[in-house]
Structure 1
Amino acid sequence: MATSLKNLNEYKKDNFKDISDKTVGIVVAEWHDDITSVLCQGAVETLLKHGAKKENIFINSVPGSFELTLGAQFLALQEEIDAVICIGVVIKGDTKHDDYINNAVANGLTNVALKFNKPVAFGLVTTNNLEQALDRAGGKHGNKGVEAAAAVIGMLSF
């Protein structure tokens, strides 16, 4: 469903199980850190709201969204990490760089999840402009970080 038709802060939590014993790693891209910090905050608040312990949430940064895949793999390699949330922003520009990065990250994160049999959330905001990105970082469409955390909780409850 298109984000313009849904608020990212709305999710089903009927089947959520207790995650107080789960450890979650978060990988945050530094590129567009004014936005990714808000997304990360939304993810952390959502995890805490649903029982995660603050000491079981580990936040790591990578230079940009392209590096989220390797950052996720570094975390997934750690036995104590139960799930990974990846947070980044890619805004369309004058070139097709966004297509390449978005595709690489989507495929890479899928591969990490399958390789390590752990939930890996795609918290990547992919927009045409800065305004749309801000709309998805606590603006009129909610917070993509909240959605990514909810996805991880849902998968940990599977």
Structure 2
Amino acid sequence: MSSSLKNLSDFSHLEVGNAEGLKFAIVVSQWNAEVTGALLDGAVSGLLNHGAQEKDIEVLRVPGSYELISGADIILRNNAIDAVVCLGCVIQGETRHFDFICDAVGHGVANVALKYNKPVIFGVLTTDNLQQALDRSGGIHGNKGEEAAITAIQMARLSKQYS
């Protein structure tokens, strides 16, 4: 089935597990705020709907998607965090800036995860246009923020299980 016809945030086939007792940080870009605000709402809802407590969710706002890397690094200096969700939106423009930012953020998020040996989830939309971003931040394709939260729960549980 084409993704144009599908809600991509269907978790019915997953065993997500319970987020109770886990501590999460969400680092969210303020750039493209209409989209990232909706991603943040989806992530928080996803965590709360699976047993996380509001007091166990810390939100850190950073200027843009590139700064998600530093934000995740800063927040992980607090070892009480079990997983970090990085949320941003980079929309293709007329220059190669899009390619450089997307590549840097992807590698940076992975490097922070390895540095701290903690799950750092890549919840950054990399779309061709604003409509695609809106469709993936609570629109017809679901909410990638919620998907990132589900991933954070699963990875935090795995990390606890094998530590």
What range describes the TM-score normalised by the shorter chain of this pair? over 0.9
Checking the alignment, whether the CA contact within 8 Å between 1:25 and 1:57 is kept in structure 2 is yes
Cα shift readout 1:15-65 (whole Å, capped 9, x = no counterpart): 333321111000110001111010000000000000000010001100000
In structure 2, list runs of 5 or more residues that go unmatched.
159-163
CA distance in 2, matches of 1:24, 1:81: 6
* Paired residues for 1:120-139 under 5 Å: 120-139=120-139
Identity of aligned residues (%): 48
CA distance in 2, matches of 1:134, 1:70: 26
CA distance in 2, matches of 1:28, 1:103: 18
Query: Is residue 84–residue 119 contact of structure 1 (8 Å, CA) maintained in 2?
Result: yes
More deviation, 29-38/12-21 = 12-21
> TM-score when scaled to structure 1?
0.93
Whether 1:73 aligns to 2:73 is yes
Shift of 1:121: 0.8
Distance 1:118 1:13 in 2: 25
Say whether the 8 Å CA contact 1:15–1:157 is kept in structure 2: no
Amino acid at match of 1:89: C
The yes-or-no answer on 1:16 pairing with 2:16 is yes
Task: Give the TM-score normalised by the residue count of structure 2.
Answer: 0.90
Deviations 1:113-136 (A, max 9, x none): 111111111110100011111111
1:90, 1:31 → 2: CA distance?
A: 9
Instruction: Name the counterpart of 2:36.
Output: 36
Counterpart residue number, 2:106: 106
Q: Distance in 1 between matches of 2:62 and 2:38?
A: 16
Where 1:157 maps in the other structure, the secondary structure is helix
Q: SS at 2:58's partner residue?
A: strand
Amino acid at match of 1:153: I
The two structures, once aligned, show a CA RMSD in angstroms of 1.8
* Amino acid in structure 2 at the alignment position of 1:15: E
| Partner SS, residue 66 of structure 2 | helix
Residue segments in structure 1 that go unaligned for 5+ positions in a row: none
Instruction: Identify the residue that residue 151 of structure 1 maps to in structure 2.
Output: 151
How far apart are the structure 2 equivalents of 1:87 and 1:3?
A: 21
| Conserved 8 A contact 2:29-2:67 | yes
Aligned length: 158
CA deviations on 1:66-115 (whole Å, 9 max, x unpaired) are 10011011111211111100110000001011100000000000111111
